Amino acid sequence: MSDDEREEKELDLSSPEVVTKYKSAAEIVNKALQLVLSSCKAGVKIVDLCEKGDSFIREQTGNMYKNVKKKIERGVAFPTCVSVNNTVCHFSPLASDDAVLQEGDMIKIDMGCHIDGFIAVVAHTHVLQEGPVTGRAADVLAAANTAAEVALRLVRPGKKNKDVTEAIQKVAAAYDCKIVEGVLSHQLKQFVIDGNKVVLSVSNPDTRVDDSEFEENEVYAVDIVTSTGDGKPKLLDEKQTTIYKRAVDKNYHLKMKASRFIFSEINQKFPIMPFTARALEEKRARLGLVECVNHELLQPYPVLHEKPGDYVAHIKFTVLLMPNGSDRITSHSLQELQPTKTIDDPEIKAWLALGTKTKKKGGGKKKKGKKGDKAEESTEAEPMDATNGAATQE
């Protein structure tokens, strides 16, 4: 077997070392989320929250694998974003931005961490207030959470991507909300945050993806965004875009000196993972990024908005499709919700009643004595109570 083949063979969840790296990245990103969440107070600058999340991830990953012979890449896999109210996603402003949080804001925190290219991502929504969330704000959060719980039970070997798309739309409709269009759940692979196997959030004639089936030992980032609006977000201002990813398959000889300078900095610091323009020299970056994007050397992550007054909730988690069932490795518990709607649909109730572990006689394929094999530690997701959509596993 050639080295390439061996590499290919070993780098999925059948290797205990890979599972450990996913779980270590997840542990860090869960703590980073908790840190950012606990720092969310009225008057706090959004850029400071984003920096806090990224710094924590850099610091924690920097402490791992220090003394190994072969250098192991690790750090931020997706920059911390804090998108408020009707802003859907990807808001991670530059240092000069002075946007602050306000009491009553619906805050969506989105972030990712990787160790050796094995990526764990998470997104969570929190309303900045004392006491339970009520009314339409509670509906949109319960819709996102219940859709995430249903997706967790349907992203399993043998099921198809379109099963998940149809199910999450049905859940959102039960809360009189919409699943936001254009959000994709991707398979994750080593150093690949947007793998080829994709789950559409909404099926429509404009966006087609190949039908695919989930398989054992795959990893997915399940990404759910719900809205009380029409679920068709708009790009209002291109200048708000600060997150980009190097398009590795594209080449172009840049004309401007500023562009060449920035592009060489990006290639050195961020060859594969998404990054924020905050990490580049701000003046030069602004000039140089435009030419890079125009010639498709960079893929932008635009800041999208629903209409003012719409509530938007975002829940994203990473799930490992282990031989003994699905293991959700990133999450955060929700604050108390009192939605105006309850789930009465028998099909949704049946989905929520599914467990996430496959019971195998004699413990299935558990390997004994392998160091670092923590794959069996996760708790079984309980069947979820469909009354208020607020149940989550911690």
Q: What is the pLDDT of residues 196-229, one digit of tens each?
A: 999 999 987 777 788 999 999 999 999 999 999 9
Model's pTM, two decimal places? 0.89
Q: What is the pLDDT of residue 377?
A: 34
- Can you tell me the distance from the alpha carbon of 1 to that of 198, in angstroms, rounded to the nearest whole number? 31
More confident residue, 265 or 385: 265
Which pair of structure tokens corresponds to residue 371? 């160091």
Which pair of structure tokens corresponds to residue 227? 């809205």
Residues in CB range of 79: below 8 A, 6 or more apart: 50, 54, 92, 111, 243, 274, 275, 276, 278
Mean pLDDT for the stretch of residues 154-161: 95
Query: Nearest-CA neighbor of 16 among 6, 26, 24, 28?
Result: 24
**What letter would DSSP give residue 213?**
B
Mean pLDDT for the stretch of residues 274-282: 90
Residue 389 has pLDDT above 60, yes or no: no
- Can you tell me the distance from the alpha carbon of 170 to that of 83, in angstroms, rounded to the nearest whole number? 25
Residue 386 has pLDDT above 80, yes or no: no
- Can you tell me the distance from the alpha carbon of 320 to that of 333, in angstroms, rounded to the nearest whole number? 19
Cβ-contact 227, 310 below 8 angstroms: yes
Residues in CB range of 133: below 8 A, 6 or more apart: 127, 141, 335, 336, 337, 338
Cβ-contact 176, 139 below 8 angstroms: yes
Q: What is the pLDDT of residue 2?
A: 45
Identity of the residue numbered 86: N
Cβ-contact 224, 144 below 8 angstroms: yes
